[in-house]
Structure 1
């Protein structure tokens, strides 16, 4: 039997020269010649021109992206058109508008890993965790629902196990949206961490006969295999916003600025700190006045703008705890608490109220990964992405990241049993999530946590929901 590497060798031997009119550089990684077209009279393309004999022009790495090179004498011309150059900021970009903590003195210093703590220090952390969790609702209600829009897909035998799990989660999210009366006309659905946009796709199908529906898909990374082209309806508008949630000012998105539609914020497995950024984006920056200078930090509340966005609301009532709200509801499947960040966390006041601070938060968010200690066994065969930035065909799950974290040194094997770690990890998750619930309640929302799918489908199976309290939203504008 031939060795595995022989086909590439045979190919190179059978093709000692590049195709006519193509670059003569052989790309070892791809086992073929470069397919770029060199300039007339040259054997190599511009990228591999340094291999040209008697070439007196020097090529240097591009200062914007050293992965490619450029002729030194054409550097200034190249910088003006390089694909890695900084693009003009969109109108809805406002630097750090949703970032949260601005006081540098309160930003925690880097902490030592859990594995470096002594047994006494670890026991002290666990004691403080249990004390802070006293009185919290730790046993969540199950709201495992479904929706007619996904029944055909759920019954399709062509879908594999991984696709089926995604569909069950999406169906339950839509079922919970229907339970909260959020699937209606004249609304703008903002999907945070949209990835391929599948959740919005199913919401669109569920609202097939509903008019005046808009979708904003927020994703900071360029995403492949998007399902945007599957949207058949002519009266529903889909728009992608390629921006980090940290800098997104919804007030400045043209369609919301023009129509002032009530917004429903949605997300499936919104990773770590992205959840906190999205919550602040919805309940704070969407009801405040954005400074016209994109490079400035998040501005203070502007009562005049609050009146403009929600004219039914009293201009003097900044607590926004009564009357109408521009955000009709929030439905977010939570994920990756170990990637939370004290700087962005919306529940800092709650942590302080129970005697905790940034140091404890750091350790608790690391310990939260213990809740998924069994993840490696249950999801080893699933096709998942390692991070939200990964440009694979599936950017909606982060279970692989969790299994890697849970099996790392932070598990402190030999000190705590697997079951003890799982219990403490779940306790950390609930504590972090309770801070989010209290934050939403202080902003005038009726917020809750519930299990929206079985743990066999996803160990990240908690759904955060919020509706205005009292549940009154602006009349739809169609």
Structure 2
């Protein structure tokens, strides 16, 4: 134990606190000194850490790291608050913000419907109500004629990663490598990626692209990049000249160090919420065709699953004339896209990209909340076999007979659902995931993209195995 250091033991870090004590007579730093009247409160800027109530003003003025980042971010040209957030008319109450002097961005999770709220709403239903809802899900799933083919691809170009012929210092988890390789393999099969001559992206679009040096040197924008290892594989295996990593959180052990060692590669990392990113204002992308990718846009990287919807808006909504979806604006340089969707249980109605599509299918906002909650069952199931292949509407009769599942009357939704067999709950979860992603696919098709939804890995590798791939359709 070092002298002159706080004596508070940090069990998660397996060491003592590295801060200095308050004074010579104190054993602890200001953060760990016990005070009888001390009251710790969550930081109003970043609730992930707490502050002594008496120090809150000083913390907000000088110390909060997120506040400093937000203040710097607001000065950047590509920052535009909520540009990709979608229609906010469905919010239950107006967002509450701090006073202007704080320059604080509201948390993306503010006023979202939590999983607990969704569960409580479902459990408050009667047996006939839950039976009717499940019947509707089966009916909608059958009506949209989903054909999500298995498309597990390991391209030849990625064999240096598959066979571990990469830098030994790079983190290597086989299941993630297989997922990354299949994403790239599907892009290659779809005609978006090429392995020859470093010309990675096909000319799929009629928009004018400048004839200078950048015309055939595409960039890659990875959304929710995390540590950036999907881009690392793409650069290693296909040859890319420019990389932009979009991520709201700071990470250790990033791929950036390895990527920066490549002399021909230009790397830029944007620490910003996808919701607030105006991609057209990123100076380094001006006039350059780019490929948009994203793997599992959720969890700590973005803290909200609707990042998939925001990514689609960020790349597509501002690029096409809404009245003539087959014609692109002069600033349209998106060439292709691959987005692996994830964590559908966190989706929010207010941010979902195709509410009109679901409404036309008879799905209300309340239905949507329940549907998103059901999707967690697809992930929680036993995936020693590919359960997604069990999705079959002919099994709906067994599921929706809530009164019979209870074995007695009257009973509520909780009893109905708890008495459903696990495989039936998983089937229902997969159906709900299909419905949510099909709405996203249809939104892209309406805007002139050639789009496909595939299962890019078996569910025993990852049950979050839906991949949206797209390119511009020249036939429109």
Settle same-fold status: TM greater than 0.5.
yes
Deviation, structure 1 residue 238: 1.5
- Normalised by the length of structure 2, the TM-score is 0.70
Q: Could you say which residue in structure 1 is the equivalent of 2:245?
A: 217
Q: 2:361 — aligned with what?
A: 354
Task: After superposition, give the CA deviation of every residue in 1:289-309 in whole Å (9 maximum; x if it has no partner).
Answer: xxxxxxxxxxxxxxxxx8xxx
- Aligned-partner Cα distance in 2 for 1:267–1:181: 18
Q: Distance in 1 between matches of 2:322 and 2:7?
A: 68
Which residue number in structure 2 is paired with residue 99 of structure 1?
85
What's 2:109 paired with? none
Provide the C-alpha distance between the structure 2 equivalents of 1:86 and 1:182, rounded to a whole number of angstroms. 39
For 1:320, which of 321, 325, 336 is the aligned residue?
325
Question: Distance in 1 between the 2:34 and 2:380 partners?
Answer: 52
Per the alignment, residue 277 of structure 1 pairs with: 310
Contact 1:373 1:418 in 2 (8 A): no
Specify every segment of 5 or more residues in structure 2 that has no aligned partner in the other structure, as ranges.
94-111, 194-199, 201-215, 299-304, 387-412
**1:52-108: CA deviation from partner (whole Å, max 9, x where unpaired):** 9xxxxx999796677456997x96598335435343223321111011112147889
Secondary structure at the counterpart of residue 264 of structure 2: coil
User: Aligned equivalents of 1:138 and 1:175: distance in 2?
Assistant: 22
Q: Within 1, Cα distance between the matches of 2:150 and 2:438? A: 17
Q: How does 1:241-256 map to 2 (within 5 A)?
A: 241-256=270-285
Q: How does 1:31-110 map to 2 (within 5 A)?
A: 34-37=17-20, 47=30, 67=50, 76=58, 79-87=61-69, 88-89=72-73, 90-104=76-90
Counterpart contact for 2:339–2:469, Cα < 8 Å: yes
1:239 corresponding residue in structure 2? 268
Q: Using a 3 Å threshold, how does the CA distance of structure 1 residues 362 and 261 change in structure 2: closer, same or farther?
A: same
Q: Deviations over 1:265-298 (max 9, x none)?
A: 111122331111111111014x3xxxxxxxxxxx
Equivalent residues, number: 386
- Mapping 1:71-470, distance limit 5 Å: 76=58, 79-87=61-69, 88-89=72-73, 90-104=76-90, 112-156=120-164, 163-183=173-193, 184=200, 185-208=216-239, 213-231=241-259, 232-256=261-285, 259-271=286-298, 272-285=305-318, 287=319, 318-322=323-327, 325-375=332-382, 413-470=417-474
> Deviation of residue 155 (structure 1)?
2.4
Three-state SS of the structure 2 residue aligned to 1:464 is strand
Kindly state the Cα deviation for residue 447 of structure 1 after the two structures are TM-superposed.
1.2
Max Rg structure: 1
Deviation at 1:347, TM superposition (A): 1.5
Q: CA deviation at 1:334?
A: 1.5
Q: What CA distance in whole angstroms lies between the structure 2 residues aligned with 1:31 and 1:432?
A: 43
1:145, 1:129 → 2: CA distance? 31
Paired with 1:411 and 1:224, the residues of 2 have a C-alpha distance of: 45
TM-score, normalisation: structure 1: 0.70
Q: CA deviation at 1:170?
A: 1.1
Matches of 1:435 and 1:33 in 2, distance apart? 51
Q: Aligned in 2, Cα 1:26/1:242: closer, same or farther, shift over 3 Å?
A: closer
Q: SS where residue 143 of structure 2 aligns?
A: coil
Please give the secondary structure, in 1, of the residue aligned with 2:174.
helix
SS of match in other structure, 1:328: strand
Contact 2:8 2:28 in 1 (8 A): no
RMSD of aligned residue pairs (Cα, Å): 3.8
Structure 1: gaps (5+ residues): 1-17, 53-57, 288-305, 307-315, 380-408, 473-478
Maintained 8 Å contact 1:190/1:264: yes
